[in-house]
């Protein structure tokens, strides 16, 4: 032992530990940033943080390389060469801001809608949306339209809250988890922690995914479904459960609209709408009296078998419609199995497993509570079936209805907000009606009269001008996609280039790589961004872009406002937006500058406030014309959305000192957050922790904390009346009428009960000619393109083969190292191939956004991301192929406008190996070259 070297077992870790919030993906974990001599030396998870409880993923741990990345932009830039060339000159911030003002001020004074302001991976949407509203343009949204708006919208319209930020599986008590395709950051560490909890308790995990990797690799059972058929699979499960009577009747009667009475007279003007009383309250039959009563009446016991004949019209409970719809043999496992690419036995096994978990061993908490009708319950019974899903079922043209089908399944099992199932996270639950409606009437020199985005309840809420034309550049809230609460970012450039519905002047983008991996039809998008009219003017006259890094989009902007990295800035992860709450606690968080920028860059939100003040926008300007907020930190501290409610809920100022939730601004608020590790948590009382939409204790707590102005209980909307209103209009009822060519589609797809229909592209693409489904997955160690500059992460995912199932691998006679030609109705790519057995037999896939354009991200031209990496985006168009009706139909969900990325069909051929993945695009001239920084 004496021979052993003596080593220092207790070396000093750091000079200082600073706790902030990660931004290496959208998960928003707490991190401990270690510093030595002012430099970041190590990043680890914050054990006290509610999201990640100390753990941290590969991306988060690699943040140090992102913060010192050579790809960081260094100073504001003005384009000097042709758009797309990448030729820029550095300018001062004053010049940059005055340039932007000189473009934007005339627009605001004449036609505010000529500014289209769209943000990508923006975690400050309550602020950027408010800025757009103050500017007065309706043309604002973040990237949800091309991400997972189907999941979000279906959740909000059906359950009153959606998965991920606003709800979560009950990892502690679930006995079965049904997990559908999930994008890594929706979310990252909480799902992994949750799966570990399930495994530790011996709970069962069923993975429904064409690809068995990642979370599906550790699932106990794998349903290798054919893409786009999840809804059919789910409705077959519903069929089986109804047939077996394995549904929670008590839950359905009390907490869903299954007992609400519907007008069932096809000749009635209100056919399919709820029967309401004089105050507009939907009615049920009260089991106590057998008479109609308002759904929320004191002591009412709603009857699932309710029927009422009134004024010559028959009314029946929604439950009748449900039974008739889903007991139809068309949903029998044998009928759907082939289409879903799985066996009827497997469907039945999943159904039986759901029934066993829900009804054989319910979780019952001995916790008395009182519901909104005043009924006292002695216990909190729960059905321990948890469900999680995200982009996999969402990014299809039938995604909205598929997500609705999933929520129907949960509701039939009584597996919503009950112990062991799915739990809301504050500020949710909220009734869909409580959300704002879209606002779109642009007025020169004035703010918009409300937020641009919202949740329409019927045709009268659409963002249409009097002549029926779209008010928004992305055609959100039109008959083409009426319920598009996240907008359609993937249509903005396409519509602006086509001047349809109108021309815009300035396209202002933040953190959205639209010239590369964030667009469908990537080459076409580059052409649209550079298209000129006959006078040689760009059709999109001006483009402003803010990003921290030298992404592909930079080359296509005229003015670059360089952002900081996430460790150099203030942010708030706000309850007004998408906070970090947990089922048992409301929680929000901040970022703060744990290091100072070493470049001439500014945090984007502070820049927006500066621009707002220079433009004289209300809310950002004092009466004397001076800026109201010095920077974003000042806004976070002092802005009030309404009296007592600001961006952060913790440590506000009450009449007797510090308070939480409602309260006056507190100048030391951010210091309090820093002192608490960067976040704030307010615990929900135990008696309020479940059954939240219906639980008086929760409703009262939410009002007291400032999440709502009054208690707002509601029912799960199995029958979605807003959808029926659009359908009724398509049937000819009402003053606001759809264009003729959309009537049929609206009737077919805006069904008030969940339905399944084949992806819309199937109508114009021959499955025999294009027999293979092509998907992407986001790698756990890489967050979209922002990860590719990261010296550590790119060693894990520096290139991406196309994975082929055994059937196609053998059919094409492929061997290791071979390449394949992949052709869609839109284009072709030639890429490296690899074999994967654990794959649906007619599905191929690759990692998302690994392929890079030469010259971007400070990578060498021979970087594998550019030579062997590739994008599937080249195969996908934002419009469906022409079908000879003189119209071009969007490649989007007809309800929400969600981009239907995963409806992609291709054919495969073996190819000779090209020198590089095809297509090849010319190298961009990078404004930062290979950059400077610490790789």
Partner 1 sequence: MTALPDRTERRLGLVIDLDTCVGCHACVVACKGWNDQGYGAPLSDQDPQGGAPQGTFLNRVHSYEVVPERGPAQHVHFPKSCLHCEDAPCVTVCPTGASYKRVEDGIVLVEEDACIGCGLCAWACPYGARELDLAAGVMKKCTLCVDRIYNEALPEEDRVPACVRTCPAEARHFGDLSDPESEVSQLVAARGGIDLMPEQGTRPVNKYLPPRARDGWGEETDVLAPFLAPVAEEPQGFLGWLDRTLGRL
Q: Of 143 and 175, which has the nearer Cβ to partner 1? A: 175
Among the listed residues 77, 147, 304, 509, the single contact to partner 1 using CB under 8 A: 304
Decide whether 57 or 174 has the Cβ nearer to partner 1: 57
Strand segments, DSSP code E, in 256-306 are: 261-263, 283-285, 292-294
Tokens 């396209």 identify what position?
507
3-state SS, one letter per residue, for 9-32 = CCCCCCCEEEEEECCCCCCCCEEE
Which of residues 860, 883, 913, 923 is near partner 1 by CB under 8 A? 860
Rounded Cα gap, residues 408 and 418, in angstroms? 15
Taking the mean position of all CA atoms in its chain, how far away is CA 727?
A: 26
CB of 310 to partner 1, least distance (A): 21
Of residues 540-579, those binding partner 1 (CB under 8 A): none
Q: Which is nearer to partner 1, 172 or 731 (CB)?
A: 172
Among candidate residues 920, 889, 747, 732, the one with its CA nearest the CA of residue 825: 889
Q: Judged by CB, which is closer to partner 1: 658, or 838?
A: 838
* Among 145, 119, 136, CA closest to 563: 119
Question: How far is C-alpha 336 from the chain's CA centre?
Answer: 29
Cα separation, 903 vs 760, in Å, equals 8
Tokens at 548, concatenated: 């921290």
Please, which residue, 345 or 533, has the CB nearer to partner 1? 345
Burial of residue 467 (number of CB atoms within 10 Å: 0-12, 13-18, 19+) = exposed
Smallest CA-to-CA distance from 797 within 868, 739, 728 is with: 868
Q: CA angle 472-476-478, nearest 5°?
A: 95
Q: Are 33 and 18 in contact (CB under 8 A)?
A: yes
Decide whether 249 or 630 has the Cβ nearer to partner 1: 249
Helix axes 333-340, 344-355, angle to 10 degrees: 110
Touching partner 1, residues 864-893 (CB under 8 A): 864, 867
Which residues face 16 on adjacent strands? Answer: 35
Of the pair 420, 661, the CB lying nearest partner 1 is at 420
776: number of Cβ within 10 Å: 23
CA pair distance 852, 842, nearest whole angstrom: 27
Which of residues 170, 303, 417, 893 is near partner 1 by CB under 8 A?
303
Pick the piece of the chain touching partner 1 (CB under 8 A) from 51-59, 121-129, 441-449, 675-683.
Answer: 51-59
| Closer of 215 and 808 to partner 1 (Cβ) | 215
Q: Which is nearer to partner 1, 184 or 878 (CB)?
A: 184
Counting contacts by CB under 8 A, is residue 174 touching partner 1? no
Q: Which stretch binds partner 1 (CB under 8 A): 41-49, 456-464, 508-516, 617-625?
A: 41-49
CB of 86 to partner 1, least distance (A): 17
Query: Applying CB under 8 A, does 38 fall inside the site for partner 1?
Result: no
Q: Quick one: which of 38, 245, 655, 813 contacts partner 1 (CB under 8 A)?
A: 245
Q: Which is nearer to partner 1, 278 or 376 (CB)?
A: 376
Q: Which of 923, 772, 921, 782 is nearest to 849 (CA)?
A: 782
Interface pick for partner 1 out of 212, 396, 692, 905 (rule CB under 8 A): 212
Binding of residue 13 to partner 1 (CB under 8 A)? yes
Residue 863 is a binding residue for partner 1 (CB under 8 A): yes
Tell which one of 80, 217, 763, 913 touches partner 1 (CB under 8 A). Answer: 217
Tokens of 311: 């004024």
* Residue 208 · residue 180 · CB < 8 Å: yes
Backbone angles phi, psi at 221, to 5 degrees: -135, 140
Q: How far is the CB of 792 from partner 1 (least distance, A)?
A: 6
Site for partner 1 in 17-36 (CB under 8 A): 36
Token digits for 219?
Answer: 């699932």
Site for partner 1 in 307-336 (CB under 8 A): 319-320, 323-324, 327
DSSP 302-324: B-TT-EEEETTEEEEEHHHHHHH
State in angstroms the smallest separation of the CB of 863 from partner 1.
Answer: 6
Least separation, in Å, of the C-beta of 324 and partner 1? 5
* Position 337 contacts partner 1 (CB under 8 A): no
* Residue 267 binding partner 1, by CB under 8 A: no
Q: Using the rule CB under 8 A, is 435 a contact of partner 1?
A: no
Distance, in Å, from the CA atom of 705 to the CA atom of 681, rounded to the nearest integer, reads 12
Q: Strand 772-777 relative to strand 843-847: parallel, antiparallel, unpaired?
A: parallel
Instruction: Report yes or no: 894 and 540 within 8 Å, Cβ to Cβ.
Output: no
Using CB under 8 A as the binding rule, the residues of this chain from 771 to 790 that contact partner 1 are 780-781, 789
Q: Which region among 595-603, 706-714, 768-776, 834-842 touches partner 1 (by CB under 8 A)?
A: 834-842
For partner 1, the binding residue among 244, 361, 668, 923 (CB under 8 A) is 244
Q: Should residue 352 be labelled a site residue for partner 1 when binding is judged by CB under 8 A?
A: yes
Q: In 3D, which of 294, 292, 317 has the Cα closest to residue 306?
A: 317
User: What tokens does 55 get?
Assistant: 């753990």
Residues 187-206 that bind partner 1 (CB under 8 A): 188-189, 192-193, 195-196, 199-200
Phi/psi of residue 877, nearest 5 degrees: -110, 150
Nearer to partner 1 among residue 44 and residue 762 (C-beta): 44
Residue with smaller CB distance to partner 1, 33 or 442 = 33
Residue 184 Cβ vs partner 1, minimum distance, rounded to whole Å = 8
Contact between 216 and partner 1 per CB under 8 A: yes
The interface region with partner 1, picked from 84-92, 302-310, 711-719, 746-754 by CB under 8 A, is: 302-310
């Amino acid at each position: 032992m004496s021979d052993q070297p003596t080593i220092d077992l207790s070396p000093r870790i750091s000079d200082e530990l600073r706790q902030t919030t990660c931004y290496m993906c959208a998960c928003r974990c707490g991190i401990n940033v270690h510093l030595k001599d002012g430099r970041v030396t190590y990043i680890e998870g914050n054990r006290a943080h509610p999201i990640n409880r100390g753990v941290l993923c590969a991306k988060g741990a690699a943040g140090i390389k992102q913060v010192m990345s050579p790809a960081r932009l260094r100073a504001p830039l003005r384009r000097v060469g042709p758009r797309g060339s990448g030729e820029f000159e550095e300018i001062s911030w004053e010049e940059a801001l005055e340039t932007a003002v000189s473009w934007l001020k005339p627009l605001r004074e004449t036609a505010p809608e000529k500014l289209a302001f769209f943000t990508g991976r923006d975690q400050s949407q309550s602020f950027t949306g408010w800025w757009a509203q103050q500017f007065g343009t309706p043309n604002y949204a973040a990237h949800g339209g091309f991400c997972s708006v189907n999941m979000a919208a279906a959740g909000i319209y059906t359950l009153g809250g959606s998965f991920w930020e606003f709800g979560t599986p009950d990892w502690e008590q679930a006995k079965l988890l049904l997990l559908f395709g999930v994008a890594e950051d929706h979310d990252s560490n909480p799902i992994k922690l949750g799966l570990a909890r399930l495994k530790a308790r011996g709970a069962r995990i069923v993975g429904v995914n064409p690809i068995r990797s990642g979370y599906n690799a550790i699932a106990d059972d794998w349903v290798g479904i054919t893409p786009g058929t999840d809804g059919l699979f789910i409705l077959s499960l519903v069929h089986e459960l109804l047939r077996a009577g394995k549904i929670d009747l008590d839950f359905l009667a009390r907490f869903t609209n299954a007992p609400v009475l519907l007008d069932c007279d096809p000749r009635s003007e209100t056919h399919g709408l709820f029967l309401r009383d004089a105050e507009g309250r939907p009615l049920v039959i009260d089991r106590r009296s057998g008479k109609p009563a308002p759904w929320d009446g004191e002591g009412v016991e709603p009857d699932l078998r309710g029927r009422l004949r009134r004024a010559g019209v028959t009314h029946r409970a929604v439950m009748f419609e449900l039974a008739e719809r889903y007991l139809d043999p068309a949903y029998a496992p044998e009928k759907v199995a082939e289409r879903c690419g799985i066996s009827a036995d497997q469907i039945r096994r999943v159904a039986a497993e759901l029934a066993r978990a829900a009804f054989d061993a319910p979780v019952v908490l001995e916790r008395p509570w009182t519901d909104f009708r005043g009924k006292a319950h002695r216990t909190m019974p729960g059905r321990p079936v948890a469900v999680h899903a995200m982009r996999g079922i969402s990014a299809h043209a039938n995604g909205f209805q598929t997500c609705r089908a999933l929520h129907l399944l949960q509701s039939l099992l009584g597996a919503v907000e009950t112990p062991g199932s799915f739990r809301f996270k504050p500020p949710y639950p909220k009734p869909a009606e409580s959300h704002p409606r879209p606002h779109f009437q642009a007025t020169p020199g004035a703010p918009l009269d409300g937020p641009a985005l919202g949740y329409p309840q019927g045709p009268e809420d659409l963002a249409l001008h009097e002549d029926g034309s779209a008010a928004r550049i992305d055609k959100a809230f039109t008959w083409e996609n009426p319920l598009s609460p996240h907008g359609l970012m993937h249509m903005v450039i396409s519509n602006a280039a086509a001047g349809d519905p109108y021309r815009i002047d300035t396209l202002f983008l933040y953190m959205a790589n639209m010239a590369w991996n964030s667009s469908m039809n990537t080459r076409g998008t580059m052409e649209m961004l550079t298209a000129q009219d006959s006078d040689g003017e760009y059709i999109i006259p001006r483009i402003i872009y803010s990003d921290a890094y030298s992404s592909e989009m930079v080359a296509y902007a005229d003015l670059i406002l360089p952002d900081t990295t996430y460790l150099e800035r203030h942010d708030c992860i706000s309850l007004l937006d998408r906070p970090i709450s947990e089922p048992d606690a409301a929680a929000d968080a901040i970022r703060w500058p744990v290091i100072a920028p070493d470049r001439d860059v500014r945090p984007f939100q502070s820049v927006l406030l500066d621009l707002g003040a220079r433009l004289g926008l209300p809310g950002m300007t004092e009466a004397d014309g001076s800026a109201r907020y010095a920077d974003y930190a000042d806004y976070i501290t002092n802005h009030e959305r309404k009296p007592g409610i600001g961006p952060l809920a913790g440590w506000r100022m009450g009449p007797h000192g510090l308070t939480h939730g409602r309260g006056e601004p507190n100048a030391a608020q951010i210091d309090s957050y820093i002192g608490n590790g960067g976040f704030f948590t307010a615990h929900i009382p135990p008696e309020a922790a479940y059954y939240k939409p219906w639980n008086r204790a929760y409703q009262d707590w939410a009002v007291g904390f400032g999440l709502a102005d009054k208690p707002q209980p509601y029912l799960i909307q199995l029958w979605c009346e807003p959808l029926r209103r659009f359908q009724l209009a398509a049937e000819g009822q009402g003053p606001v009428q759809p264009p003729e060519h959309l009537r049929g589609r609206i009737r077919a797809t805006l069904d008030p009960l969940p339905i399944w229909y084949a992806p819309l592209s199937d109508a114009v693409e021959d499955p025999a000619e294009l027999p293979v489904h092509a998907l992407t997955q986001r790698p756990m160690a890489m967050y979209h393109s922002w990860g590719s500059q990261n010296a550590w992460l790119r060693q894990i995912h520096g290139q991406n083969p196309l994975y082929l199932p055994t059937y196609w691998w053998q059919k094409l006679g492929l061997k290791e190292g071979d390449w394949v030609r992949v052709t869609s109705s839109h284009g072709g790519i030639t890429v490296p191939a690899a074999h994967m057995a654990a794959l649906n037999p007619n599905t191929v896939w690759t990692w998302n956004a690994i392929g890079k354009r030469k010259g971007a991200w400070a990578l060498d031209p021979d970087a594998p991301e550019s030579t062997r990496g590739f994008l599937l985006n080249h195969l996908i168009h934002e419009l469906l192929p022409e079908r000879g009706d003189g119209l071009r139909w969007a490649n989007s969900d007809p309800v929400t406008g969600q981009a239907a990325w995963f409806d992609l069909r291709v054919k495969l051929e073996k190819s000779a190996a090209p020198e590089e993945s095809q297509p090849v695009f010319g190298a961009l001239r990078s404004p930062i070259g290979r950059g400077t920084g610490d790789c």
